[in-house]
Chains A and B, each alone.
Chain A
Amino acid sequence: MKSLLHTKPLTYITLLILLILPFLVDDLSAIYEGSLAILTHPSLLISDYLRIGGLGASLLNLALLMVMNITLIRLLKLKLNGPIFAGLLTIAGFAFFGKNLINALPIYLGIYLNSKFQKVEFKSLIIVLLFSTGIGPIVSYLIFGTGWAYYLSIPAGLVIGILTGFILPILSAHMVRFHKGYNLYNIGFTMGLVSLFFSAILRAVFKLDLFSFDTSTTETYHTFLYILILVGSLLTLIFSYISNPKAYKDYPKILKSSGRLASDYMRETSKETTMLNVGIMGLISLVFITVLDIKINGPVFSGILTVVGFAAFGKHPRNSIPVMLGATIWFLYVRHTTGSVGTGLQIAVLFVTAIAPVAGRHGFWVGILAGFTHVMFTPLAYPFQGGFDLYNNGFAAGFVAAIMIPLFDFIRKDKIGEDTP
C-alpha cells in the first residue's frame, strides 16, 4: 500500500479526475461560453470565475492550469517538495479567482527569458514561476479591460506580462529580507510592489479607472465545493494513514517549527506526515468558515486551497490558528457593527495564515495580535496596488511581518534560551 502516495500514479489519477469533472457538472456549450468569459475577463481583484464563467468552466480552467504546470515540472525533472506542492495548490485555488492560461503564459515566458539572461537553469526559478501568475491580471486587464483597440492592447499585455515575469525573480529574492521570511507569500509581497508601480502609471498617465468592475461573487456552488474540500481533506488523511500508520509520530516536528521560509515539511519529515498536516489544515479551514458562516465562492475556495497547499510549506495548526483567531475577532466585530462582512474580510480569515510564522516564532498571543493587525492592513493594500496582485494578503502580510518581527525580537532580545523547547 506504500505506493498510494507515490507521486506519479496519484498525480495522473488526480489530473484525469480534474479533466473529467467539468463535463460532469456542466454541458459543453456552458463550459465553452464560460471559458470564453473567463479568458477574456480583465480578472482584477475581486473576480469570481464561478460567477463569471460558471462551475464547469472554472473547473476546466483549474484542470488546464494544473496540466500545464505539472507537465512543466515533469519536463524539468523536478521532484515534488513543499514549495512546489504549495505552488500547485495555490494555482488550483486561484484558477477560480483570476488566473488563466492567457494571463499566465506571458509571465512564464518572462521568467524563462530571465533564466536565459542570467545563464541559470530554468528549473532554479520554479518557485517564483509557480507563484508568479498572482500578477496575471496585469496581462488580462491590459488586453481586455482598458478599452484600447486589440492591435494596441494585445502587444501591451504581452510585453508587460513578459517584462513582469522577467523582473519577478530578481525582486522576489531580495524582498524576502524585508520581512525576514515571516511572510509565507513573499512573491505576493513582491508583486504588490510591482502592481503599485503599474497601478500608479495606469491611473496617473492613462487616467484608467481600476475599480469600476463588478466584484460580486456567487455562493451557488457552496455545497458542492464544501463537500469537495471535505472529501479531499479526509482522503488525504486516509492516504497518509494507509501509506504509513506511524506518520503521526513525526507530526510534533512540524508543530514545533516556526514555519518561517523555507520550511519544507516534505523534506523535514515525510510525504505521509506532510499529508497528515495537509488534511488537518483543510479541516481547520472548513471549521472556521462553518463557524463564521462564510459561504464558498471563488475567492474563498482559493483561500482554502492556499491554506491546504502551504500546509506542506510553513503552515500548521499551532502557528495558523492564532492568526486566524486574530482575524476572526475583527470579522465578528465588523459583522456585529455593520451586519455584513465583505468578501475581502471573509477571505482574509484564511489568507491571514501568510503570517503564521509570526505566531510560530513569538507564540499564541502575538499571533492573535498579528492576525488582528493583518486584517486591518488588507483593505488598505488593495487600492494601493490597484488589484493587479491577486495575493493582496501577501502584500499586506509583508508589512505586518516586517513590523511585528523586529518589535517582538527587540522585546525578547535577551531570551535566546527560550527558543529551546
Chain B
Amino acid sequence: MKPKQEIKVVAQIIQELALFLMYHGYKSYAISFEDGDHDETFLLELPNLDQKLIEQMRQQIEQPREESIEAYYFELLGDLDTKEDLELLGIFIDTMAVKQTESSVQITLKRKK
C-alpha cells in the first residue's frame, strides 16, 4: 500500500477501535500506536473489558489478513455503524493478543508491513 494510504489506514483503525469501545459504553480507555520496523502495533488499554466482548473481538479480528481486499475497502474503515461489525477491521490486522490483570486489560493488535 502507498505510504499516504497507509497513514490513513492507521488513523482509521484507531477511529474504528474508538467507535467500537464507545458504542459498547466504555468511557475510559487508551489507544497507543507504534510504527516499528517490521510491523505497526496498536495497544488498547482499559480498566476492564467484558469477556464476551473479548471473545467477539477474537472471532472477528483473529482471521487471516486479506491484503487483496485492503486497497479497495480501506475507505470504509473508521466508519463503524453498529456494535457488531468488526470484521472489516480484521481484514487489516495480522495478530491479536490479550493480556489481562486484575486491574487492567491490554489488547495488542499487529499489522505487518
A residues neighboring B (CB under 8 Å): 78, 81, 83-84, 118-121, 123-128, 169, 172-174, 176-177, 180-181, 256-258, 260-264, 267-268, 361, 409, 416, 419-421
A267 contacts which of B66, B67, B71, B75 (Cβ < 8 Å)? B66
CB A417 to nearest CB in B, in angstroms, measures: 8
Q: Which residues of A contact B68 (CB under 8 A)?
A: 78, 81, 83-84, 123-124, 126-127
Q: Check B66–A264 contact: CB distance below 8 A.
A: yes
Q: In this assembly, does B88 line the interface, its C-beta being within 8 Å of a C-beta of chain A?
A: yes
Shortest Cβ distance from A73 into B: residue: B68
Q: Report the separation of the CA atoms of residues A212 and B71 in the bound assembly, to the nearest whole angstrom.
A: 39
Size of interface on B: residues with Cβ below 8 Å to A: 27
Q: List CB contacts (< 8 Å) of B44-102 with chain A.
A: 60, 63-64, 66-76, 79, 81-85, 87-88, 90-91
A124 contacts which of B60, B71, B82, B88 (Cβ < 8 Å)? B71
Shortest Cβ distance from B22 into A: residue: A416
Q: How many A-B residue pairs have CB under 8 A?
A: 93
Q: Which residues of A contact B7 (CB under 8 A)?
A: none
CB A270 to nearest CB in B, in angstroms, measures: 11
Q: Which residues of B contact A181 (CB under 8 A)?
A: 73, 76, 79
Most chain A beta carbons < 10 A, residue from B67, B70, B76, B88: B76
Q: Check A258–B82 contact: CB distance below 8 A.
A: yes
Q: Report the separation of the CA atoms of residues A260 and B64 in the bound assembly, to the nearest whole angstrom.
A: 19
Q: Check A180–B79 contact: CB distance below 8 A.
A: yes
Q: Which residues of A contact B91 (CB under 8 A)?
A: 262, 264, 267
Q: Check B1–A262 contact: CB distance below 8 A.
A: no
Q: Check B73–A261 contact: CB distance below 8 A.
A: yes
Q: Check A268–B63 contact: CB distance below 8 A.
A: yes
Q: Check B85–A260 contact: CB distance below 8 A.
A: yes
Q: Which residues of B contact A416 (CB under 8 A)?
A: 23, 82-83
Shortest Cβ distance from B76 into A: residue: A181
B residues neighboring A (CB under 8 Å): 1-2, 23, 60, 63-64, 66-76, 79, 81-85, 87-88, 90-91
Q: Which residues of A contact B60 (CB under 8 A)?
A: 268
Q: Check A261–B70 contact: CB distance below 8 A.
A: no
Q: Check A176–B76 contact: CB distance below 8 A.
A: yes
Shortest Cβ distance from A128 into B: residue: B72
- List the 8 closest pairs (A to B, CB-CB), nearest first: A419-B82, A124-B71, A262-B73, A419-B83, A181-B76, A127-B72, A177-B75, A126-B68
Q: Check A180–B76 contact: CB distance below 8 A.
A: yes
Q: Check B1–A172 contact: CB distance below 8 A.
A: no
- A–B pairs, 9, beta carbons within 8 Å: A125-B71, A169-B71, A177-B76, A260-B81, A267-B90, A268-B63, A361-B81, A419-B82, A421-B84
Q: Check B71–A176 contact: CB distance below 8 A.
A: no
Q: Report the separation of the CA atoms of residues A419 and B19 in the bound assembly, to the nearest whole angstrom.
A: 14
Q: Report the separation of the CA atoms of residues A149 and B101 in the bound assembly, to the nearest whole angstrom.
A: 76
Q: Which residues of A contact B66 (CB under 8 A)?
A: 81, 264, 267
Q: Check B69–A120 contact: CB distance below 8 A.
A: no
CB A197 to nearest CB in B, in angstroms, measures: 21
Q: Report the separation of the CA atoms of residues A128 and B69 in the bound assembly, to the nearest whole angstrom.
A: 9
Q: Check B69–A83 contact: CB distance below 8 A.
A: yes
Q: Which residues of A contact B72 (CB under 8 A)?
A: 125, 127-128, 169, 172-173, 176, 262
Q: Report the separation of the CA atoms of residues A125 and B69 in the bound assembly, to the nearest whole angstrom.
A: 8
Q: Which residues of B contact A267 (CB under 8 A)?
A: 63-64, 66, 87, 90-91
Q: Report the separation of the CA atoms of residues A174 and B74 in the bound assembly, to the nearest whole angstrom.
A: 9
Most chain B beta carbons < 10 A, residue from A84, A128, A420: A420
Q: Report the separation of the CA atoms of residues A169 and B71 in the bound assembly, to the nearest whole angstrom.
A: 9
